[in-house]
A and B are shown apart, each in its own frame.
Chain A
Amino acid sequence: MTNVLIAGVGGQGALFAGRVLGRAAIQAGCDVKISEVHGMSQRGGSVETVVRFDREKVHSPLIDKGGADFILALELLEAYRSIGYLKNGGWLIASTQRIDPMPVITGVASYPADIVEKLTKTGARVKALDALSLAIESGGAKMANVVLIGVLAGALAGDLAIAKEDWLTALRQAVPEKLLAMNLKAFELGHNWRENLGEIQTI
């Protein structure tokens, strides 16, 4: 069973990233369950999408604390918030983008400093990348989600691997024709970034 948690802020495209991953896993012949967030939280609140896939039947669409093989975080504070879901030996891949929540904007709370260092200190395996810049390089800030999907595609190795063609098929199914080229580029940039993960294939 592979469990991926995608954490972010409503509007960042965590849902879409989950669907691409789900479709890719189906292409690879797996059973898949995805739990999505619709409604109130989509208005700029914290959102978590869970994707679970396996050769066997998948039951619950949710995971418990300590259940995620991978966490993809689209925003740093949300990366920090989600850390409890990471499995021992799992990987947290975080975009360094920062979006201040309303309590920070109104001045009743402050945005934690040095999140990446603090996450690393918990003993978790953490990698941070500037997915937003890579997204802008591929044509639009909205595609940071696809950059992270690209990173994940490169990172899933061994038993967990999904063939690259399966990812590309999933993207072609999910993205409207006129945005496809940009999305494929974002995916590639993420996929290439994977080299920075070093020892990740040992998971």
Chain B
Amino acid sequence: MSPKTLMLGNEAVARGAYEAGAAVASAYPGTPSTEITENLAKYGEIFTEWAPNEKVALEVSLGASIGGARAICAMKHVGLNVAADPLFTASYTGVGGGLVICVADDQGMHSSQNEQDSRQYARASKILMLEPSDSAECKQFVKRAFALSEQFDTPALLRLCTRVSHSRGLVEMEEREKPAPKEYVKNPGKYVMMPAMARARRVAVEERTRALREFAETTELNVVEYYDRSIGIISAGIAYEYVKEALGEKASYLKLGVIYPLPARKIKEFFESVRVCYVMEELDPFIEEHCRALGLAVIGKDQFSAIGEYTAAQIRETVLGQPPDQTPAASEPLPARPPVMCAGCPHRGVFYALKQFPGLTVMGDIGCYTLAALPPLQMMDACVCMGASIGMAHGMEKAAESSGQLSGRERAAKTVAVLGDSTFIHSGITGLIDVVYNKGTSTVIILDNSITGMTGHQENPATGYTIKGEPTRQVDLQKLCEAAGVDRVTTVDPFDLDTLRKTIKEELAAAEPSVIIAKRPCALLKKVKREGPYRIDADKCLRCGSCLRIGCPAITKANALTTATAGALPAIDLTQCAGCGYCARVCKAGAIAGAMAPAVTRTGGGDPA
């Protein structure tokens, strides 16, 4: 037996795909799914790529599958919205080589804009879905998913979530299988989904679902564990681990590994063998509604929330009536610690410049820059989904035009759309084409930090490198915007405050669409040279508070025990400062200087450092 390794759930998914002989992987990053693809890229045998978005990723994977290879793609829950179009029809085409689609939900919204339940997609698209509950199962279930995909001629969804994807557990490694190579077989009846052919496939989907239902009744992926039968628990995924932790042998369990389709007889039989039966599942009452449709009076969302994550303590309290332990607590309300733009972040320059335009509306987007919505910058009016900023800015202009309160041009002169390089390529470009095509005059700012930042530094088509770090042809954002029909495209350094301010002013005033590319690499990139920390000269400092208003986490009041900002002496923290020098640029007194000078480290909760 090979030794066990401590693996992230996502790493184990990648290992499973490797062992299953997967040959092609395509994905777009998204927390908590990103490390699946990053780990797939480490296997030389698997062609792995970052696609521009999830729709493309799924289409590449489907093409690879039709071409005969085992293929995998990965995305976060909202990514599946983007990939929903190919998903629903891939259900009809079925597969050539096995096709596994990993989708990671984010209960509790640790890193997401919503909390949707991907299991609904399995039911809606009639696609097999498996759900592992820890790293060992991640590996095992991916391998099963490939085999089942081929056996039943269906794509297979693998549902993950933050606590499975981002927990580590022990995984045993096995050898890579060598699935017999499959030839591509031309089969328009199966792969050309136009009405006549699709109608035939529609029937095949129903037949397949019946067969899968039968499979769900008997498969060992759905396990019954009998201990005390006074309490029965039907559960799946991470919720199973919480409930097992909470109740141990005080309850019996039906752990469902197959989420779609759900078995009927197996669930009924379990229900009848226990005194009271709970369904324990985070988010939607997906299994619960299935039970109710079978006429089973289970306990579910009437006692457990549909919002956020469960805890073992809460389960113990609700099911066993055991109150949680008394624990020590802070004797005062504690300041929150929201995430912030990093020290050195180039986005800071853009939002600080935008803040100089009173009454400006900023249609925002998704990425590190969304953090500009928080104090002290607070320069964002909306953030909905990737790429939405441009369309929303255009919609505002057209709303003003048709309501007649403000002319469309006046509205557009007070509105910008702001989005990152990766987001622009993902789905912002289509919005820009819409603006040009439909005679809008929006100003769009692309924050080009040469990386996909928020999800932890992935290459993208605008960076010039592939996921494996190989140089490749780079999308020229300037030319791309020009080709879409934007005549006013300017590239500016976001830390050059004067030029940036002037450019924004001109482009807002221009009665045609314009794009400002704010270009400076992410401060966390290895290629970015870091100067030593900056320091503040207390003698020169006017205590005006300007540097405290740029929202840099490395600059704080030397004595932060008081809330007063005015009149406070600022200080720069040695361990945090990235040496970008932006604070020195906004300091009117010239009191901030770079490098060499000894800076402070801060300890304790009292004295000024």
**Residues of A in contact with B (beta carbons under 8 Å apart):** 9-11, 19, 22-23, 26, 31-46, 58-62, 64-66, 76-78, 80-81, 83-86, 88, 96-116, 118-119, 121-124, 130, 132-133, 136, 141
Q: Is B290 an interface residue (CB 8 A)?
A: no
In the bound complex, CA of A9 to CA of B553 (Å): 11
In the bound complex, CA of A73 to CA of B242 (Å): 25
Instruction: Decide if A107 touches B605 in the complex (CB within 8 Å).
Output: no
Q: Can you identify 7 A-B contacts, CB atoms within 8 angstroms?
A: A40-B454, A41-B339, A59-B244, A102-B340, A105-B551, A107-B548, A107-B564
**Chain A residues, CB < 8 A from B371:** 43
Tell me the nearest residue of chain A to B135, going by C-beta.
A33
**Chain B residues, CB < 8 A from A101:** 335-338
Instruction: Decide if B313 touches A64 in the complex (CB within 8 Å).
Output: yes
In the bound complex, CA of A119 to CA of B376 (Å): 30
Given A43-B342, A81-B334, A98-B604, do A32 and B374 touch, yes or no (CB 8 Å)? Answer: no
Q: Is B115 an interface residue (CB 8 A)?
A: no
Instruction: Decide if B548 touches A39 in the complex (CB within 8 Å).
Output: no
Point out the residue from B8, B325, B548, B575 that lies within 8 Å of A132, measured CB to CB.
Answer: B575
**Chain B residues, CB < 8 A from A109:** 335-336, 563
In the bound complex, CA of A77 to CA of B338 (Å): 13
Q: Mark each residue of chain B from 426 to 440: 1 if its CB lies under 8 Å from any CB of chain A, else 0.
A: 000000000000000
**Chain A residues, CB < 8 A from B375:** 102-103, 106, 108
**In the complex, which of the residues A32, A111, A132 has the most CB atoms of chain B within 10 Å of its own CB atom?**
A111
For the complex of A and B, 9 pairs with smallest distance between CB atoms: A39-B111, A39-B31, A122-B328, A109-B335, A61-B167, A45-B339, A107-B565, A64-B313, A101-B337
Point out the residue from A37, A44, A65, A112 that lies within 8 Å of B605, measured CB to CB.
Answer: A112
**How many pairs of residues, A versus B, come closer than 8 Å at their CB atoms?**
237
Instruction: Decide if A102 touches B551 in the complex (CB within 8 Å).
Output: yes
In the bound complex, CA of A36 to CA of B368 (Å): 20
Interchain nearest-CB distance for B528 vs A (Å): 16
Instruction: Decide if A26 touches B6 in the complex (CB within 8 Å).
Output: yes
Instruction: Decide if B110 touches A37 in the complex (CB within 8 Å).
Output: yes
Tell me the nearest residue of chain B to A118, going by C-beta.
B331
Instruction: Decide if B562 touches A122 in the complex (CB within 8 Å).
Output: no
Interface of chain B, main secondary structure: loop
Interchain nearest-CB distance for A58 vs B (Å): 8
**Chain A residues, CB < 8 A from B376:** 102, 105-106
**Chain A residues, CB < 8 A from B143:** none
In the bound complex, CA of A61 to CA of B68 (Å): 38
In the bound complex, CA of A45 to CA of B368 (Å): 13
Point out the residue from B556, B564, B574 that lies within 8 Å of A141, measured CB to CB.
Answer: B574
Tell me the nearest residue of chain A to B564, going by C-beta.
A107
Given A23-B6, A118-B330, do A98 and B338 touch, yes or no (CB 8 Å)? Answer: no
In the bound complex, CA of A35 to CA of B168 (Å): 6
**Chain B residues, CB < 8 A from A35:** 163, 166-168
Point out the residue from B325, B332, B604 that lies within 8 Å of A76, measured CB to CB.
Answer: B604
Q: Is B32 an interface residue (CB 8 A)?
A: yes
Q: Give me 16 other A-B pairs in contact (C-beta within 8 A), A40-B110, A77-B334, A111-B605 excluded.
A: A33-B134, A36-B8, A40-B454, A41-B110, A41-B111, A42-B339, A45-B338, A64-B312, A65-B324, A66-B324, A83-B329, A97-B575, A102-B553, A107-B565, A115-B605, A141-B601
Point out the residue from A26, A42, A76 that lies within 8 Å of B170, measured CB to CB.
Answer: A26
Task: Tell me the B5-32 residues at the A interface (CB within 8 Å).
Answer: 6, 8, 31-32
Instruction: Decide if B337 touches A78 in the complex (CB within 8 Å).
Output: yes
**Chain A residues, CB < 8 A from B564:** 107
Q: Is B402 an interface residue (CB 8 A)?
A: no
Given A99-B553, A101-B337, do A107 and B563 touch, yes or no (CB 8 Å)? Answer: yes
In the bound complex, CA of A66 to CA of B551 (Å): 35
Q: Is B573 an interface residue (CB 8 A)?
A: yes
**Chain B residues, CB < 8 A from A105:** 376, 548, 551, 553, 555-557, 560
Instruction: Decide if A46 touches B337 in the complex (CB within 8 Å).
Output: yes
Point out the residue from B35, B242, B576, B603 that lies within 8 Å of A60, measured CB to CB.
Answer: B242
Interchain nearest-CB distance for A12 vs B (Å): 9
In the bound complex, CA of A44 to CA of B324 (Å): 31
In the bound complex, CA of A196 to CA of B141 (Å): 48
Tell me the nearest residue of chain A to B332, going by C-beta.
A112
Interchain nearest-CB distance for B137 vs A (Å): 12
**In the complex, which of the residues B166, B244, B455, B606 has the most CB atoms of chain A within 10 Å of its own CB atom?**
B166
**Chain B residues, CB < 8 A from A121:** 331
Interchain nearest-CB distance for B301 vs A (Å): 21
Point out the residue from A78, A88, A108, A110 that lies within 8 Å of B561, measured CB to CB.
Answer: A110
In the bound complex, CA of A100 to CA of B570 (Å): 12
Instruction: Decide if A111 touches B561 in the complex (CB within 8 Å).
Output: yes
Interchain nearest-CB distance for A68 vs B (Å): 10
Instruction: Decide if A114 touches B605 in the complex (CB within 8 Å).
Output: yes
Task: Tell me the B443-461 residues at the A interface (CB within 8 Å).
Answer: 454-456
In the bound complex, CA of A103 to CA of B334 (Å): 10
In the bound complex, CA of A35 to CA of B238 (Å): 12
Tell me the nearest residue of chain A to B371, going by C-beta.
A43
Q: Is B245 an interface residue (CB 8 A)?
A: yes
Instruction: Decide if B311 touches A64 in the complex (CB within 8 Å).
Output: yes
Instruction: Decide if B603 touches A130 in the complex (CB within 8 Å).
Output: yes
Tell me the nearest residue of chain A to B244, going by C-beta.
A59
Q: Is B241 an interface residue (CB 8 A)?
A: yes
Instruction: Decide if A86 touches B327 in the complex (CB within 8 Å).
Output: yes
Q: Is B169 an interface residue (CB 8 A)?
A: yes
Interchain nearest-CB distance for A139 vs B (Å): 14
In the bound complex, CA of A60 to CA of B242 (Å): 5
Interchain nearest-CB distance for B343 vs A (Å): 9
In the bound complex, CA of A78 to CA of B606 (Å): 16
Task: Tell me the B154-194 residues at the A interface (CB within 8 Å).
Answer: 163, 166-170
Tell me the nearest residue of chain A to B601, going by C-beta.
A132
In the bound complex, CA of A136 to CA of B503 (Å): 44
Instruction: Decide if A19 touches B168 in the complex (CB within 8 Å).
Output: yes
Point out the residue from B241, B329, B368 that lies within 8 Å of A59, measured CB to CB.
Answer: B241
